[in-house]
Amino acid sequence: MGLAFDATGLQAYLGEIFPQVADDFAIDALSEQGITMRLKVAERHLRPGGTVSGPAMFSLADVTVYALVLSRLGPKALAVTTNCSLDFMRKPESGRDIIATGSLLKLGRSLAVGDVHMVSQGSDRLVARSTMTYSIPPER
Amino acid sequence: MGLAFDATGLQAYLGEIFPQVADDFAIDALSEQGITMRLKVAERHLRPGGTVSGPAMFSLADVTVYALVLSRLGPKALAVTTNCSLDFMRKPESGRDIIATGSLLKLGRSLAVGDVHMVSQGSDRLVARSTMTYSIPPER
Amino acid sequence: MGLAFDATGLQAYLGEIFPQVADDFAIDALSEQGITMRLKVAERHLRPGGTVSGPAMFSLADVTVYALVLSRLGPKALAVTTNCSLDFMRKPESGRDIIATGSLLKLGRSLAVGDVHMVSQGSDRLVARSTMTYSIPPER
Amino acid sequence: MGLAFDATGLQAYLGEIFPQVADDFAIDALSEQGITMRLKVAERHLRPGGTVSGPAMFSLADVTVYALVLSRLGPKALAVTTNCSLDFMRKPESGRDIIATGSLLKLGRSLAVGDVHMVSQGSDRLVARSTMTYSIPPER
């Protein structure tokens, strides 16, 4: 199955549909195998002590899988998150972006499931892992 | 097991330790049975179309269980989220706060598990449900 | 929404479609609010030390939500488990059946989500909790 | 961190501590990177239609992560499952064993988290995926 977007096109499209948050994220790479998404960590993502907040990590995992679904189904795709599991393994390193590597475990007619591994930039130690399920409503 | 805080005291304490986000939340009720936490929905919590964002719902579930743990263990408690499962059932109703009802399923020596049900204010239809696990590091 | 089965009818129907395992389970109660399902604990459900095995608890949660879906949609319903989250809180008490209380959090056109709380009979301390999502394929 | 067992030693040890179920499983490979565990599919693992049952898949994921923990911590290790998330992607192919590939995402002092991918033998299409968290009680 081919890709409906390249990285630049998908980044631009995310900017259109999520103007509030798209600047937080950058697509570092996109291929048929998966996506690399960067959370550009800023003050607003931090908790006391300098750690990246849980909601910011959730947001990164969610946008990563949503971008994967869009990359396959194109801009007309509707998809809503129905389930998330998220494990936090280690404190991220302070002052570093978070790099998410995402791949689709399933892309069915009504459900898509994506897997996301998150590390601090320059490290290979897992900070968090998430599986996100999206429901794809039937076309009308 | 008694409570280490009442609702007012816990609200104030959350304001001290999470000055960035504590204003988003209000503790409507706190007892030994559980907690009622309100997400005061504002523009920054919304996605296009007026729906409350996933990260805002995650944030509400997370702070609800964290507040439950603090209410039992007191302000010295250290606790870090290690696992989250989150199911999204329905679109929240627009223009309404989200009300989370949380209870502790377990409060062990090293793990606490809390369950959270979220509805739009004035409705009894579940918008989302979450289970959050917190690791409680040993006192030093 | 009414019920398509009463407890006796549903028990009989489970016996028809799952002859291998239906004898492990008994429906203690069924109403529009939910279901009470008993795991009749036997030697084959135990692990060394006398604790009920994880797979037996999974099985109980799975059949509880499946029975809930059938009770609403009737015997023609197709439904396959797509996601499970399961938290284990405490060791069950030895020599006791496990009692599961299940309710539907959502029954949509393509997804059903059920919540299950499990205790040792005669206790109110939670042994495990599970959320199960079933996909309901479109009728053909 | 080295391994406390090789594949043969670990297989023998599982047979000692889980005599009821160890024959269902074979360790195909074990290294510092991870483990390959086979569910030797038999009649008792099947549901009507010939599909491998959910509890059998749960059991495979659980024993895979437990074996990973033992392979690192040795036979004295105590570890109890505290959380499981399990996604079912596709029907397994009938008449084939299920092959689980497991790796540890975290091995901390009090928690271990393992990831498991399951396929039908000879296929690379994911049948199920699971994350299992084990609590490791402090040594006494």
Residue-wise pLDDT tens digits, B23-55 = 999 999 999 999 999 999 998 898 877 789 999
Confidence band of A80 (pLDDT split at 50, 70, 90): very high
Whether the pLDDT of residue C123 is over 70: the answer is: yes
- Give me the pLDDT at residue C1, please: 66
- D33 at the B interface (CB within 8 A)? no
Closest CA to C21 of C37, C5, C2: C37
Instruction: Map residue D75 onto helix, strand or coil.
Output: coil
Of all residues in chain B, the percent with pLDDT exceeding 90 is 79
Q: What is the reported pLDDT for C76?
A: 80
Report pLDDT digits (tens) over A17-72.
Answer: 988 788 999 999 999 999 999 999 998 898 877 789 999 999 999 999 999 999 99
pLDDT score recorded for residue A140:
53
Mean pLDDT for the stretch of residues C65-84: 93
CATH architecture entry for B7-135: Roll (3.10)
- A-to-C residue pairs, Cβ atoms closer than 8 angstroms: 15
Flag whether pLDDT at A139 surpasses 70: no
Alpha-carbon gap, residue D78 to D76, rounded angstroms: 6
* Angstrom distance (rounded) from CA D57 to CA D39: 8
pLDDT at D49 over 80: no
Whether the pLDDT of residue A10 is over 90: the answer is: yes
Domain boundaries, chain D: 7-135
For B117-136, the pLDDT digits (tens) are 999 999 999 999 999 999 99
The answer to whether residues D112 and D65 touch, using CB atoms and an 8 Å cutoff, is yes
Looking at residue B61, what is its pLDDT? Answer: 98
- Are C104 and C131 in contact, with CB atoms under 8 Å apart? no
How does the average pLDDT of chain B come out, rounded?
A: 93
**Residue ranges of the alpha helices (H) in chain D?**
7-17, 54-73
d(CA B126, CA C104): 10
Q: Supply the pLDDT for residue D38.
A: 98
Spell D15-54 as b/e; 16+ CB within 10 A means b: eeebeebbebbebeebeeebbbbbbebeeebbeeeebbbb
- CB count within 10 Å of CB D113 equals 22
Q: Which one-letter amino acid corresponds to residue B28?
A: D
For residue A124, what are the contacts with CB-CB under 8 A and spacing of at least 6?
A: none
CA angle B55, C114, C131 (to 5 degrees): 60
Taking an 8 Å cut-off on Cβ atoms, the answer to whether B106 and C126 are in contact is yes
Q: Give the residue-averaged pLDDT of B67-87.
A: 93
- Per-residue pLDDT at D1: 66
| pLDDT at site B95 | 87
Q: How confident is the model at residue A115 (pLDDT cuts 50, 70, 90)?
A: very high
Helices (H), chain A: 7-17, 54-73
Taking contacts as CB-CB distances below 8 angstroms, the residues of chain A near C138 are 138
Give the model's confidence band at C140: pLDDT under 50 very low, under 70 low, under 90 confident, else very high.
low
With bands split at pLDDT 50, 70 and 90, how would you rate the model's confidence at B138? confident
In this predicted structure, the answer to whether residue A94 has a pLDDT above a threshold of 90 is no
Residue of D38, D20, D13 whose CA lies nearest to D102? D38
- Tell me the C-alpha distance between B8 and B60, whole Å: 18
Compute φ and ψ for A39, nearest 5 degrees: -90, 115
Lowest mean pLDDT among B108-112, C11-15, D47-51: D47-51
Q: What is residue D2's predicted lDDT score, i.e. its pLDDT?
A: 87
Is D106 touching A (CB cutoff 8 A)?
yes
Q: C-alpha dihedral over C118, C123, C127, C128, to 10 degrees?
A: 20
**pLDDT more than 90, % of chain D:** 79
**How do residues D63-106 score in pLDDT, each as one tens digit?**
999 999 999 999 887 899 999 999 999 999 988 999 999 999 99
Stronger pLDDT, B49 or C118, i.e. the higher one? C118
pLDDT score at D32: 95
Report whether pLDDT(C139) > 80: no
User: Looking at chain A, which residue has its C-alpha nearest residue B132?
Assistant: A86
The answer to ipTM > 0.90 is yes
Chain A contact probe: residue of B84, B85, B90 with most A CBs at under 10 A: B84
A113 CB within 8 Å of a chain D CB: yes
pLDDT given at position A34: 97
pLDDT at res. B113: 97
Beta strands in chain D (DSSP E): 25-30, 35-39, 80-88, 98-107, 111-120, 126-135
pLDDT at C19: 84
Q: Which residues in chain A have Cβ-Cβ distances shorter than 8 Å to B86?
A: 83-86
Q: What are phi and psi of D64, to 5 degrees?
A: -65, -45
More confident residue, B19 or C134: C134
Q: How far is C50 from chain D (nearest CA, A)?
A: 12
Return the pLDDT at B139.
Answer: 67
Mean pLDDT value of segment A103-125? 96
